[in-house]
Structure 1
Amino acid sequence: MLSPHAGATTIPEAFEQAARAAQPQLAGQQCGVLAAVTLWLPEQQQDQPLAMLSRWQHHPLAAFINCFSVATYTPEQLNCTTVGMRGRAQCALREAHHKNNRRILFVADELGIASSQNHSIVLPTNASLSLFAHEVAHWLGFVDEYAMSEELADNYCAGRYAHPSLNVVTTASTTLDRDALIDLWMQLPWRFAVPDWRALGQPLDTNEQRWRLGSTDEDVGLYSIATCQQTERYAWRPVNTMTPMQYYDIGQWPDLYLELIARPR
């Protein structure tokens, strides 16, 4: 069996190099030493995604992910299925050589709804900038604040995940004893913004030994959300306002969320 010479280009690598050749570049990128995220666009449907992406440089999340390369594919190279109760699009490109680089694949709208995995995102070609930001936010450590489908919630809400969860914590109960509440406070990703553990709940007895979880009027605290609604566990976020992780078309990202991304982990 013949082996390629050192430094030779393999067929998948040649495919990807050709796909990137003479592709448009996005303005305002900040790559530095970061590996570029590959944006895969359908050869005949580039205009709408590119118009949307041209505005990304002004989005607050662009401070954290803003290095892209653009490549195109033909319909024959695309292989898609839908998964889960909601019909999430799960797609791959034949012959594409991804290595470990992250990639965002734009596909026809009818192939399924947006989905995100550790190294890949699938989006419809008509995706808005807000939807793009919501999916990219998963890579930055944010979790959905709406009710997850049962198949996703079963793993996430039980703690079976290997990604950061900056904006959501889960508990087995809505009441905790004093020591357990202090432990929860110490483990919060946003603990730096909550100076007193008592801000996370309301005492149920005069000795303050039992507490009902849930802040009242704190700017940053512990607020119930529907993420784990399909399970027997409870989910909480730090703010009492709707965010783009609950409804992606909400354009305002809380300052706290941007700080959570920027802080060392």
Structure 2
Amino acid sequence: MRLNKKSRFSGFFYIKNAPGILLFSCLLGCEPALEHLPEQQLMDKAQQGHGAAAVLLAKKRERQGDFPAALNWYQKALDAGLTNELDALLALKQRQDGFLATASYLEHHLQQQQSVNAAEADLAADYGLWHYAQSPAYFASNSNFSCSLTLQPVVQSKAGSRQLQLLQQQWQQDSQLSSLPVCFLPEKRMNSTDLQCSYQAGQRIQCQYQVLKPDVAQGGFSQLLVVAGEGTANYNNGIVQLAESSSFEVFRHEFAHILGFIDEYSLSTEVAQAECRSDKIRPNLLTDQTQLDLYLQHWQLQRHDIQMQPVESCDNAGVQAFAPVATMSFMRSHEAEIPELYFKLMQKVLAQPELIMPVQYFYAYLARQEQDWYHWRLLMDQAAKQGYPDAQHLLQEASAIPTAP
């Protein structure tokens, strides 16, 4: 029997890496793996530019819930050249500081780069930095009939762009809405750091709409459709504001506001005071049963076409309001159907699109508040060209005012 002689290289092994070259790796006496290092030693390494050590510290602090410290160590990892940690840093920063602060950070980070790779360009689209993004734009357009109403979609991130595409697809698949003479222009992409839409759950979404003034003044549409931010969707003076997660049912509801439909649930006191004491004839709301004959005449309906139903719209104004349908409608519950009567009323409103207030009229009002008379006239001209009577009247008044010699 041959006895195995212990090699003088006991405690080592070797790997044949290439002809004539042997690489030796220690089994004993090596420095411990990073994850086994004492914390202070790990921190010292990270401070000295050891990226992997910084990542370990970042993930450890993140698990501990110390997000500011975790962000600091992720930044150290990026500074050390580990650019694949950018995604993790952004996700944590958004959780800690919000979407807009994260977009601003990413914009600053990319400005320091000599070039932007594909992964960074994709992140730029996620955070609405479109001048770095390379993703295609989506849009839907109705070309089989003339447009009584044209919407200009606006997005501030890739999530908003995807949701807009989905909503437009669902619109085209809806047998009622797709038959309306309503068209969508190609989406307008605004940098999130410019549009600055809010991300506050349970609060109305607000954006810096003034940055859209050049597009509104250029015309070519009558309503803005902004799909950006998170919070409560709303409609205000020609601007449909949807969240990036808004459903098609929410879109239907907010779109109906363009055509003058009123919520059939309790309005806020301020809105109720304005709407419920107005002499406007709304498609879906009567605030006084003595208005019935006038309502029927205005909408060219017969008494048997409607079924009066009490609704809560005007409760905060001390007024009992009535809807002209007995069933639950989509103006009371987003998930409910559009009653056939309401669809016919939509068609009637769109038969006179010049009576729908265009967004240019609202922007003219804002320009007047700022005493920006150049844009006031430019925007009012756009509203008047769409046939809006109030705009035409105001321009006539302005022309009649004598000017100084």
TM-score by length of 1: 0.68
In the alignment, structure 1 residue 145 sits paired with structure 2 residue 264: yes
Sequence identity (%): 24
In the alignment, structure 1 residue 185 sits paired with structure 2 residue 270: no
Q: Which residue of 1 aligns with 2:207?
A: 91
Distance in 2 (alpha carbons) for counterparts of 1:29 and 1:223: 38
In the alignment, structure 1 residue 224 sits paired with structure 2 residue 310: yes
Distance in 1 (alpha carbons) for counterparts of 2:192 and 2:240: 18
Query: How far is the alpha carbon of 1:156 from its aligned partner?
Result: 0.5
Query: How far is the alpha carbon of 1:257 from its aligned partner?
Result: 0.9
SS in 1 for 2:208: strand
1:122 to 229, 241, 248: 241
Distance in 2 (alpha carbons) for counterparts of 1:156 and 1:23: 39
The root-mean-square deviation of aligned C-alpha atoms, in Å, is 3.0
Structure 1: any 5+ residue segments left out of the alignment? 1-21, 196-218
Q: Which residue of 2 aligns with 1:42?
A: 156
Q: What are the equivalent positions in structure 2 for 1:42-121 lying under 5 Å apart?
A: 42-45=156-159, 46-59=161-174, 60-69=176-185, 70-80=187-197, 87-93=203-209, 95-96=211-212, 97=214, 98-99=216-217, 101-109=222-230, 112-121=231-240
The amino acid that maps onto 1:113 is T
Distance in 2 (alpha carbons) for counterparts of 1:165 and 1:242: 18
SS in 1 for 2:232: coil
1:32 to 123, 143, 146: 146
Query: How far is the alpha carbon of 1:30 from its aligned partner?
Result: 4.7
Query: How far is the alpha carbon of 1:33 from its aligned partner?
Result: 5.1
More helix by share: 2
Structure-2 change in CA distance of 1:261 and 1:94 (3 Å): closer
In the alignment, structure 1 residue 165 sits paired with structure 2 residue 282: yes
Structure-2 change in CA distance of 1:74 and 1:257 (3 Å): same
Distance in 2 (alpha carbons) for counterparts of 1:157 and 1:107: 30
Distance in 2 (alpha carbons) for counterparts of 1:239 and 1:58: 25
CA-to-aligned-CA distance 1:106-132 (integer Å, 9 cap, x gap): 1122xx311102311111011111111
Structure-2 change in CA distance of 1:257 and 1:26 (3 Å): same
Distance in 2 (alpha carbons) for counterparts of 1:39 and 1:254: 27
More strand by share: 1
Query: How far is the alpha carbon of 1:58 from its aligned partner?
Result: 2.5
SS in 2 for 1:91: coil
CA-to-aligned-CA distance 1:169-189 (integer Å, 9 cap, x gap): 102xxxx7xxxx4x6334345
Distance in 2 (alpha carbons) for counterparts of 1:108 and 1:23: 19
Kindly indicate whether the alpha-carbon contact (under 8 Å) linking 2:139 and 2:165 is maintained by their aligned counterparts in 1.
Answer: no
SS in 1 for 2:277: coil
Distance in 1 (alpha carbons) for counterparts of 2:149 and 2:338: 25
Kindly indicate whether the alpha-carbon contact (under 8 Å) linking 2:205 and 2:229 is maintained by their aligned counterparts in 1.
Answer: no
TM-score by length of 2: 0.46
Kindly indicate whether the alpha-carbon contact (under 8 Å) linking 1:49 and 1:126 is maintained by their aligned counterparts in 2.
Answer: no
Structure-2 change in CA distance of 1:62 and 1:138 (3 Å): farther
SS in 2 for 1:24: coil
In the alignment, structure 1 residue 258 sits paired with structure 2 residue 343: yes
Query: How far is the alpha carbon of 1:73 from its aligned partner?
Result: 1.5
Query: How far is the alpha carbon of 1:80 from its aligned partner?
Result: 4.3
Structure 2: any 5+ residue segments left out of the alignment? 1-135, 353-405
Kindly indicate whether the alpha-carbon contact (under 8 Å) linking 2:141 and 2:184 is maintained by their aligned counterparts in 1.
Answer: no
Runs of 4+ in 1 over 4 A off after TM superposition: 27-31
Structure-2 change in CA distance of 1:117 and 1:106 (3 Å): same
Kindly indicate whether the alpha-carbon contact (under 8 Å) linking 2:157 and 2:228 is maintained by their aligned counterparts in 1.
Answer: no
Q: Which residue of 2 aligns with 1:23?
A: 137
Aligned length: 207
CA-to-aligned-CA distance 1:29-68 (integer Å, 9 cap, x gap): 5562556311111233222331232121122123335311
Query: How far is the alpha carbon of 1:237 from its aligned partner?
Result: 0.7
Distance in 2 (alpha carbons) for counterparts of 1:34 and 1:224: 32
SS in 2 for 1:95: helix
